[in-house]
Amino acid sequence: MRHARTLTAFLAACTLSTAFLAGTAGVAGAATDSALLVITPVTGIKCLVVVKGHADVAAVEPGNLTVRLFGADAFDDDDELEREGPLSTAPTGDYSARFTVACATLDEDLGDDEIFAVASVFDPATGVTVDIRSNTVTGTF
């Protein structure tokens, strides 16, 4: 009985988080800025980087997106490791950038490396570039 209740609570939590994720992928103007970083080693040498999310912009144009990767550092400035672009968002402000880097590029520290992405999206309607910081991925690259 106790197990059943725990499982039900767990499933309810999963449903909630799925609904939340679906909500963040929405239509231009209806969703807030977001950036999700996922890093997957393809081989021991190459790593696949995916940065996807949404920019709440009023207008878009080709080449409005630049994606940068940084190594987070508590005691020093964050190092820029990689820059990809110009890329383009979809007309909705949604974007998904996929590229491979040498995994060694992500080796920004002795031991564990803390990597985050910044998606910079230019809005031609306002002339403003919005920087959207992602989650931080910790790994040993």
Query: Under the rule (CB under 5 A), what is the footprint of Ca ion?
Result: 73, 107, 109, 113-114
Least separation in angstroms between residue 105's CB and Ca ion is 11
* CB of 56 or CB of 107, closer to Ca ion: 107
* CB of 103 or CB of 132, closer to Ca ion: 103
* CB of 113 or CB of 123, closer to Ca ion: 113
The number of helix segments (H) and strand segments (E) in the chain equals 1, 7
Least separation in angstroms between residue 108's CB and Ca ion is 5
Least separation in angstroms between residue 137's CB and Ca ion is 11
E strands in the chain? 34-41, 46-54, 65-71, 79-87, 94-102, 113-123, 128-139
Say which residue the tokens 């499982």 belong to.
7
Q: How far is CA 132 from the centre of its chain?
A: 8
